[in-house]
Amino acid sequence: MTIRMLIAAGAALAATGTVVPALAGESLDAVRERGSLICGVNTGLSGFSAPDSEGVWAGLDVDVCKAVAAAILGDGEAVEFIPSTAQQRFTMLQSGEIDVLSRNTTWTLTRDTALGLNFAGVTFYDGQGFMVPAELGVTSALELDGATVCVQPGTTTELNLADYFRANEMEFDAVVIESFEEVNAAYFAGRCDVYTTDASGLASVRATTAPNPADHVILPEIISKEPLGPVVRHGDDEFLDIVKWVVFALIEAEEKGITQANLDEMLESTDPAVQRLLGVTEGMGEALGLSESWAYDAIAAVGNYGEIFDRNVGPETALGLERGVNDLWTRGGLMYAMPAR
Ligand SMILES: N[C@@H](CCC(=O)N[C@@H](CS)C(=O)NCC(=O)O)C(=O)O
């Protein structure tokens, strides 16, 4: 055998022989049989997941579920949304009541291990902040010694709050309320001096729930890292792979300039990476146990990551968030898709 023949044989193997057909895991089978994805969301956090007056869910976390449903079933509307409080969410996933949790949930070590769950990526890099009534005249979190703080249980928020005050030798009284509606009502009724949660959550609560948003100030300190993303159960690698690669596909679509509007033109692209992602070159779908149009269908349903961000939480929305660290790595942010090949 010549060296040339060896290289050719190796290339052929790399192209075909190494692909092990994906075994359909339990979750994928269940979603297919049911004809819909059951997605756990929150009870109504505008920008991330909230129902409108007709009960139609919208938000960044909602779009992630729609993208997964589109990739599996070819239909982004084939999703049933189940609301959960912070405290209920992990039990719902562990018990099989939901297939995937997409609910501003922070990726932490214990959730990813001891709780029997797997995080499938990061769809929003966040951090915890504080909001106070402007009339208090507070300008820094370090002035909050002795404050009463409204917080929801079962959150990283509650834990970071205690860490931050202890580290800075400050005292606080927590007002711990499970229901989101009630914790908001308590803060706006003046039952606590401070509201703490993820900075995106503060922006959402201030823009959509405050009687007058200008009456509330979000303090400059960000006291934690809150990488938020979709979660699945341990023990179903195929389903984990699917959710993970759908998230990457949405990011890669933005990296490659593929949008909901130009998707069909992009089928003509001569870029091999675009051809692979959109299934023009076959193989990625088969590797995931899905149809070759999985990424095409996901992007057709909700657009690329940047479109999802802008539509739900970006500068033109009520939340008015900048891309910041959620921008693509090529523009100085953290969003980076692993290569689809
Ligand atoms: N990212 C944090 C906090 C998540 C959280 O539950 N935040 C609250 C406050 S923004 C929330 O989403 N509430 C909405 C609800 O309970 O429906 C975590 O994973 O623990």
Contacts 24+ apart (CB under 8 A), 144-148: 144/170, 144/172, 144/193, 144/194, 145/170, 145/171, 145/172, 146/170, 146/171, 146/172, 147/172, 147/173, 147/192, 147/193, 147/194, 148/172, 148/173, 148/174, 148/175, 148/191, 148/192, 148/193, 148/194
CA distance 271 to 275: 6
Mean pLDDT of 234-254: 98
- What local confidence, expressed as pLDDT, does residue 299 receive? 99
CA distance 259 to 31: 27
Mean pLDDT of 298-317: 98
Q: How confident is the model at residue 257 (pLDDT cuts 50, 70, 90)?
A: very high
Mean pLDDT of 23-37: 89
For 207-228, how does the pLDDT look when each residue is reduced to its tens digit (9 = 90+)? Answer: 999 999 999 999 999 999 999 9
Q: Are 82 and 38 in contact (CB under 8 A)?
A: yes
Residue 198 CB less than 6 A away from ligand 1: yes
Residue 335 CB less than 6 A away from ligand 1: no
- What local confidence, expressed as pLDDT, does residue 25 receive? 79
- What local confidence, expressed as pLDDT, does residue 263 receive? 98
Going from the N-terminus, what domains does the chain have, and what CATH number goes with each? 22-125+228-320 (3.40.190.10), 128-224 (3.40.190.10)
Residue 123 CB less than 6 A away from ligand 1: no
Indicate if the pLDDT at residue 141 is higher than 80: yes
Sheet arrangement for strand 172-176: 172-176, 147-151, 194-198, 128-133, 216-218
Indicate if the pLDDT at residue 37 is higher than 50: yes
123 CA from centroid of ligand 1 (Å)? 15
Mean pLDDT of 98-127: 98
**Ligand 1 pocket check: which of 62, 89, 158, 198 to mutate, most ligand atoms within 8 Å of Cβ?**
198
For 148-204, how does the pLDDT look when each residue is reduced to its tens digit (9 = 90+)? Answer: 999 999 999 999 999 999 999 999 999 999 999 999 999 999 999 999 999 999 999
Indicate if the pLDDT at residue 142 is higher than 50: yes
CA distance 79 to 62: 9
DSSP strand pairing (194-198 vs 128-133): antiparallel
Indicate if the pLDDT at residue 42 is higher than 50: yes
Indicate if the pLDDT at residue 18 is higher than 60: no
Q: What is the mean pLDDT of the chain?
A: 94
Mean pLDDT of 70-92: 97
- What local confidence, expressed as pLDDT, does residue 15 receive? 42
Q: How confident is the model at residue 10 (pLDDT cuts 50, 70, 90)?
A: very low
Q: How confident is the model at residue 12 (pLDDT cuts 50, 70, 90)?
A: very low
